[in-house]
Amino acid sequence: MAFLNITTYDNNMTSTARCGGILISEEFVLTAAHCAESQASWISTKRKAYSKIVVILGAHNIDEQEQSQQKIGVCEQIKPPEYSTQRDEHDIMLLKLMKKAVPNQYVLPIRPRQSGPKLEPHNLCNVAGWGRINTFNDKMASKLQELNMTIVAPDECAKAFPRVNTKKCICAKNTDKKSSCRGDSGGPLFCNQYLHGLVNGGNEKCTGPRLFTNVFSHIEWINKILKNPKCKKES
């Protein structure tokens, strides 16, 4: 599990955000593309703003400096060519690390398999993250939280997300009315011990079905990017 600390600097103002992710090789973290929207817009418009992303691996309590933690900067953000802020099914991004992660008992890359079992309604999954834990305020989790989720039937998913091509995404919900929330974006969804999805979004109250980007739908793109792990040298 990876914690993303995102700091955006814009016109003498500073804002921070957090996301989740998953280490899939010693050089790459997989997360949601919308986690870096501020930096993406800066690159495209040349406005005076920039974002700094630091990946923290091996953490449990993100508010403490645990000996297990590895903090690594990001040298490149890579999104699929189909990605658009209006197309949730391609909300996926690879972060190329400035240096290799060191595998150990706390940090272990989990490379996505080339295919996995088809998900059916009511299949049990789990999601993890350091996102918002109280819907009445913006209090974020200090310790890593895990939650069981069940796969939602396509008709219920389409009703919850009428503007999304839900056939290319994954929908899941928690039967105890708990859910992933703000700050959990990009975190992994595991089903049957497979990495199936990444936290994408849902309603602001963090209730009902949640949307997840389908990892297997992007496996060819992922494999292609992983072949070039070196950071580009600055000119």
Q: Tell me whether residue 34 is one of the annotated catalytic residues.
A: yes
Q: Tell me whether residue 68 is one of the annotated catalytic residues.
A: no
List Cα–Cα distances, 185 to 46, 67, 122, 155, 168, in angstroms: 26, 25, 22, 24, 18
Given 25, 88, 90, 91, the catalytic residue: 91
Q: Tell me whether residue 185 is one of the annotated catalytic residues.
A: yes
* Residue carrying the six token digits 């700050």: 183
Given 25, 51, 180, 185, the catalytic residue: 185
With H, G, I as helix, E, B as strand and everything else as coil, classify residue 109.
Answer: coil
Given 34, 90, 196, 218, the catalytic residue: 34
Q: What is the DSSP letter of 217?
A: G
Name residue 220's amino acid: E
Residue 46, Ramachandran bin (φ over 0: left; ψ between -120 and 50: alpha; else beta): left
List Cα–Cα distances, 212 to 84, 161, 173, 198, in angstroms: 15, 12, 11, 5
> So which residues are the catalytic ones?
34, 91, 185
